[in-house]
């Protein structure tokens, strides 16, 4: 796995929801075009990965792909897979994953990824790291020069350790905030029963791999959303007027 991402320019356009959907679908079609019959496919989470699951299901239903099974990173992807006709298997019952698709909140030019906008990054990282090929699907708004520019770093924490973990995150230069559930009183609780802390780094993240390790060394932290050295390729959709190019 040799991460480098060659893109010459970064531009952030404001687009409509319909245009966003077209971009995600173009990425999804390109991604599922990489799947071959007989493969084990890892399924990520989020709106882009969900469209890829839908497109994968379409190829299977049309008989264009045979004997494909999938490992869903969490409940959402497993439920969607079954809904669209993709057979799922348990990660613990297989020895390897041929290819995994996943979305991202940010991607830098070295294929470092920031994930966890949906509080599902822990198992996504497990599935992505098992895969021989890990393909990240990103529209151009996700491309950044430095991780942490537009999103905080999500950190999954076991609830009894929340206070000491918050203090340790401050010593790393972060400003931590416990993620709260929309329209409910109380914190977001992940599929794994933990809390999520979103940590902003106002001085920027100079070395994503180092910060990823430092955060994971704090006792009580389960996993954080920085993913370095795992993505093997990044598909980027660039919108130009009505046309979308995936590169
Ligand atoms: C969820 C994730 C998602 O992959 C990430 O938030 C991107 O989602 P979307 O494709 O909806 O923009 O990491 O935890």
Measure 205 CA to ligand 1 centroid, in angstroms: 20
Measure 58 CA to ligand 1 centroid, in angstroms: 22
Q: What is the pLDDT of residue 61?
A: 97
* Token pair in block for residue 114: 């920031």
Question: What number is the ipTM of this complex?
Answer: 0.97
Query: Which residue's alpha carbon is nearest to atom 1 within ligand 1?
Result: 118
Q: What is the pLDDT of residue 169?
A: 98
Beta strands at 97-102 and 131-139: parallel, antiparallel or unpaired: parallel
Cβ pair 37, 66 in contact under 8 A:
yes
Q: What is the pLDDT of residues 99-156, one digit of tens each?
A: 999 999 999 999 999 999 999 999 999 999 999 999 999 998 999 999 999 999 999 9
Bridge partners, residue 46, by sequence = none
Q: For 68-84, give one letter per residue: b (16+ CB within 10 A) or e.
A: bbbbbbbebbbebbeeb
pLDDT greater than 70 at residue 179? yes
Q: What is the pLDDT of residue 11?
A: 42
At residue 16 the predicted structure's pLDDT band, cuts being 50, 70 and 90, is confident
Q: For 134-147, give one letter per residue: b (16+ CB within 10 A) or e.
A: bbbbbbbbbbbeeb
Mean pLDDT over all residues of the chain? 92
Run of H or E including 213: helix 208-216
Residue 108: count of CB within 10 angstroms of its CB: 23
Ramachandran bin of 144, using left for φ above 0, alpha for ψ from -120 to 50, beta for the remaining angles: beta
Max intra-chain CA distance, the chain: 54
**Mean pLDDT over residues 62-67, rounded?**
98
Mutate to test the pocket of ligand 1, among 105, 113, 134, 151 (most ligand atoms within 8 A of CB): 105
For the chain, percent of residues with pLDDT exceeding 90: 83
Query: Going by C-beta distance under 8 Å and a sequence separation of 6 or more, which residues neighbour residue 33?
Result: none
pLDDT greater than 90 at residue 183? no
Q: What is the pLDDT of residue 242?
A: 67
């Amino acid at each position: 796995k040799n991460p480098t991402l060659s893109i010459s320019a970064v531009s952030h356009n404001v687009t409509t929801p319909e245009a966003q959907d077209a971009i995600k679908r173009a990425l999804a079609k390109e991604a599922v075009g990489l799947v071959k019959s007989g493969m084990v496919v890892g399924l990520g989470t989020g709106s882009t990965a969900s469209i890829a699951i839908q497109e994968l299901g379409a190829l299977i239903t049309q008989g264009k792909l045979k004997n494909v099974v999938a490992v869903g990173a969490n409940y959402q992807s497993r439920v969607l897979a079954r809904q669209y006709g993709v057979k799922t298997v348990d990660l613990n019952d297989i020895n390897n994953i041929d290819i995994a698709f996943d979305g991202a909140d940010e991607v830098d030019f070295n294929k470092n990824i920031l994930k966890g906008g949906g509080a599902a990054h822990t198992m996504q990282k497990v599935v992505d790291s098992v895969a021989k090929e890990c393909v990240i699907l990103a529209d151009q708004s996700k491309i950044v020069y430095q991780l942490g520019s537009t999103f905080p770093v999500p950190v999954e924490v076991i609830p009894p350790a929340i206070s000491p973990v918050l203090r340790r995150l401050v010593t790393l230069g972060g400003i931590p905030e416990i993620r709260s559930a929309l329209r409910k009183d109380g914190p977001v609780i992940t599929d794994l029963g933990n809390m999520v802390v979103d940590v902003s780094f106002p001085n920027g993240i100079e070395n994503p791999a180092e910060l990823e390790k430092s955060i994971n060394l704090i006792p009580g932290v389960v996993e954080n959303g920085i993913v370095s050295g795992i993505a093997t390729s990044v598909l980027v959709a660039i919108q130009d007027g009505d046309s979308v190019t995936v590169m």
